[in-house]
Structures are given as C-alpha cells and as structure tokens.
Amino acid sequence: MYRNKCAACYRQFNRMEHLVEHMRTSFHSGHEPSCGICGKHCRSFESLREHLIGPLPKQECRDVFAYQGCRFCLKVFDSPNARRVHQERCQLSGLDAGLIARFANLGLRDNLSMGRGQQVVALACKMVGGGSDGSLDLCARVCIIDEQENIIFHSYVKPPIPVTNYRYETTGIRPEYLRDAMPTRVVLRKIQDFLCNGEPMWKIRPRAGGKARILVGHGLDHDLESLQIEYRPEMLRDTAKYPPLMKTSKLSNSLKYLTQAYLGYDIQTGIQDPYEDCVATMRLYMRMRSQAHRIEDYPLASDPQNRNNFVSWRQSDLERMTPEQMLEISRSDYYCWCLDSYI
C-alpha cells in the first residue's frame, strides 16, 4: 500500500522523501484548477479537461461530469438542471459581424481618455508584413478596450518601414488606410502614457491605489514589441502565457482555441478586427479573475515574506508532516489572476 500520496495531484510515492521532493518542486496551491468531483489539482484547465472528458478520463469523475459539469468553465453543479441554467450563461456569443465590418472605415477613436483610477484594459493588434519576403510583423491596427468592452482606442497605424504584404485576406487592410494613419512612434507614446497613467515607470507595480493600468492581451510581448512599447511585466496579463490556460505541454494555446473552448464561440473567421481579440482576451481574463480561491497572506512561493516554500524547512520536519500539512504550506509559483480582485 502507498501511504505517501500527494494531497493535491494524488500521485503516489514509495517513500516519504520522494513525496517531499515532489512537493518542493510542484508548487501546488489552492489556485490550481481542480476537479469538482474528486478534488484533484491539475496544472492547467487543459489537463483538468482531460481528467474529466478524456481520451483517458477518470471514470467516476467522467460519469458525474457528463450530467452535471459545465463544458466551458469545467465547474460541477448539483443537478443536470442547475448545469443547464448555468451553461446557458457561461457560453457567450460572438460579436455581430456587421459591427466589426463597420470598424474597417468608421468609428475610429484615438483620443485615449478614461477615468483616473487603476483599471484594466485589453490591447490587440493586427499585423501586416514587412521586409523583402513580407514575413516581418508590423502593427497596422491597434485596439484598446475597457473592462466593459467599450472601445477606448481603435486606430490604423503607419509602420516605420514599408509594408510589403498587406495580408488582405485576414487583415482587410488596404494601402490607402495606412497612407495618412498615425505613425508608430505617435501611437507608442500615446499608449505608453495611457498605461502608466501618470506614474513613473520604475514605480509601477500592482497595488491598491496604484494608477497604472493592468494590460490584458494574447501574446503581448509580440504586440508591444511591434509598437515599441515598454511596460512593466508585473502589469501584463497574457492569456498566451498564463499557466492555467496553457497546454499540458506548456506551449501556448491560440486565442481562437481558448475562445472556443472556454467561452463557447468562434473568432477570427474571416477578416479579423483587433476589437474582437480584445473582447475575447478581456472575457477570458474576467473569468480567470473571478475564480473563488482561498485568500492567503502571501500567496506566492516567491514572496519574500513567505517562509512556507519548503526552502526554510528541514527535511526531517517535512518528512514528519502529513501530505495535507505539506499542501497547507505550499504556495503557487505563478501569479493567479484572482489576486487582481484585491487591488
């Protein structure tokens, strides 16, 4: 019989010292996605989905989930009826195609005004091609929205070097749209000032009363680089790099996949508008932020105050603990977005 079973992922070990070693390196916490039926912690929603839906699901959990589980957020409800009522709200619908088409030449906003307090905004770009083979990504459209999906900024951008491929089939961008568009250096200054919101860059970090804005997006490094924007990594919420939303292989999922799997609708079907990507990333962010997780004083293993990350404990003390006690002192190695609801 195995007695040394991890209280989070239920892996079993022959020897207590192996379980201790496992706990030191796995950073289990209440912020991990977990099965609503057996309580098993998973590294990502994708591995939780596999645990519940298959190809090789845990049988008991699959049977309950089939009748009472929401296939978008993976929560489990008391009855099939409660599930049905929930799932109708959990599945969102996409944006009106006519609305998106109108953005191609109308409704541009470029003044970037918004309330003063710290707020969350989502940014997305659409890229055209530069360089001799057109493979260099250049931002030609950028959109920023607020938490309520209102457009704060939506503009064409004139790249600093010549465009060699407009990628019309997906971007819908024609040369004349960019001819008199705002140059990248102007856009970059406007957006950077808007994000910092009056705070000096070196002072910016997520905290109560801070004025700088939290920036949501998908593949933000690439978007910011193409606009030459510098911003504090602590303020980025990237759906491509957030561990619970990544593949079990630790690679990024596409935004198209995440929107289909977690929100239940299709995006990027024809000509793409950055507004649609902004809305999808903001909705994913809101869903992750609204998760009800236990509140801890120092939730991160990397918090300097945190003595609970196994480093300060003696091996012999750890080996005397129960698996539950070890889970109790274990902390997350990533910043869970539920923590944003306290700032």
Contacts with Zn ion by CB under 5 A lie at: 6, 8-9, 26, 31, 35, 37-38, 40, 61, 70, 72-73, 90, 293, 336, 338
Find the shortest distance in angstroms from Cβ 306 to Zn ion: 16
Residue 20 or 338 with smaller CB distance to Zn ion: 338
Find the shortest distance in angstroms from Cβ 285 to Zn ion: 13
Find the shortest distance in angstroms from Cβ 337 to Zn ion: 7
Residue 40 or 283 with smaller CB distance to Zn ion: 40
Residue 73 or 227 with smaller CB distance to Zn ion: 73
Structure tokens belonging to residue 221 = 């490094």
Q: What is the dihedral of CA 34, 37, 39, 44, to 10 degrees?
A: -20
Residue 181: phi, psi to the nearest 5? -70, 165
Which residue from 241, 219, 221, 244 is spatially nearest to 232, judged by alpha carbons? Answer: 221
Direct distance between the N- and C-terminal alpha carbons of the chain, in angstroms, rounded to an integer: 46
Residue 70 or 124 with smaller CB distance to Zn ion: 70
Find the shortest distance in angstroms from Cβ 282 to Zn ion: 17
Q: Rounded to whole angstroms, how far apart are CA atoms 323 and 342?
A: 30
Q: 219-233 burial by CB neighbour count: b if 16+ within 10 A, else e? A: bbebbbebbebebbe
Under a CB-based contact definition with an 8 Å cutoff, are residues 308 and 325 in contact? no
Structure tokens belonging to residue 172 = 């819908």
Find the shortest distance in angstroms from Cβ 297 to Zn ion: 14
149 CB-near residues (< 8 Å, 6+ apart)? 278, 279, 282
Q: Is the peptide bond before 160 cis (omega within 30 degrees of 0)?
A: no
Find the shortest distance in angstroms from Cβ 319 to Zn ion: 16
Residue 129 or 244 with smaller CB distance to Zn ion: 244
Find the shortest distance in angstroms from Cβ 28 to Zn ion: 5
Residue 37 or 279 with smaller CB distance to Zn ion: 37
Residue 16 or 101 with smaller CB distance to Zn ion: 16
Find the shortest distance in angstroms from Cβ 65 to Zn ion: 8
> Any idea which residue has 């999906």 for tokens?
149
Residue 68 or 171 with smaller CB distance to Zn ion: 68
Taking CA atoms, 168 is separated from 50, 79, 85, 130, 171, in Å, by: 38, 48, 41, 14, 5
Under a CB-based contact definition with an 8 Å cutoff, are residues 300 and 309 in contact? no
Which residue from 132, 177, 133, 147 is spatially nearest to 159, judged by alpha carbons? Answer: 177
Tell me the pairing of strands 236-238 and 214-217.
parallel
